[in-house]
Amino acid sequence: MIPRKHVSLVLEPRYRYYADSWEITAHAPEMRVHLRFAKHYRLRVRYRYYRQSEAFFWRDDGMYSNPVGRCTKNTPTNCATADPKMDNWDSHTPGVQLVYELDGLARHRGLDWLENSWVSATYNHVFQSNRYGQARLGSLALSLAF
């Protein structure tokens, strides 16, 4: 955190590693930068990279034999999926969030219930290499403390 009189800057690096019994592994480094630029305003920008390996039963050709038993690592031809999330893929996600803290309003008579509450607007754009393609994710949220 880099504090100033009315401005503060926080760098938040993150890293997530994932592995499961389907032999999928994933790496997800992310960087978030938080900036308080006015008394009741915060801005957050982020970038996340995600890379995943394919499941042991994924077939790029889409051809599966007729299953004759259980789906196991030793018999991957008994497994079938059309789910593109089981293939190897990666994504890039830049995003931005603006938060207005309602403490300034809470000092007025009858609005004390707004103390420690905020309104936030968030937008993230996902660029993916799977068949889902791009996604735009947004939200407008009100958080009330009680």
Handedness of CA 107, 110, 112, 113 (dihedral sign): negative
- Distance, in Å, from the CA atom of 58 to the CA atom of 62, rounded to the nearest integer, reads 8
pLDDT at residue 5, rounded to an integer: 67
pLDDT digits (tens, 9 = 90+) for 68-94: 778 888 887 777 777 888 899 999 999
pLDDT digits (tens, 9 = 90+) for 40-62: 999 999 999 999 999 988 877 66
* Amino acid occupying residue 130: N
- Distance, in Å, from the CA atom of 132 to the CA atom of 127, rounded to the nearest integer, reads 9
Quick one: how far is CA 61 from the chain centroid?
Answer: 30
- Distance, in Å, from the CA atom of 122 to the CA atom of 94, rounded to the nearest integer, reads 11
Quick one: how far is CA 3 from the chain centroid?
Answer: 27
pLDDT at residue 61, rounded to an integer: 67
- Distance, in Å, from the CA atom of 1 to the CA atom of 34, rounded to the nearest integer, reads 9
Answer whether residue 64 shows pLDDT above 90.
no
> Which parts of 1-146 fold into alpha helices (H)?
103-106
- Compute the average pLDDT of residues 93-111: 93
* Amino acid occupying residue 83: D
Show the beta-strand stretches assigned E in the chain.
Answer: 2-3, 8-19, 25-38, 41-52, 89-101, 118-128, 135-143
pLDDT at residue 96, rounded to an integer: 98
* Amino acid occupying residue 54: E
- Distance, in Å, from the CA atom of 45 to the CA atom of 60, rounded to the nearest integer, reads 36
pLDDT at residue 79, rounded to an integer: 78
- Compute the average pLDDT of residues 19-33: 96
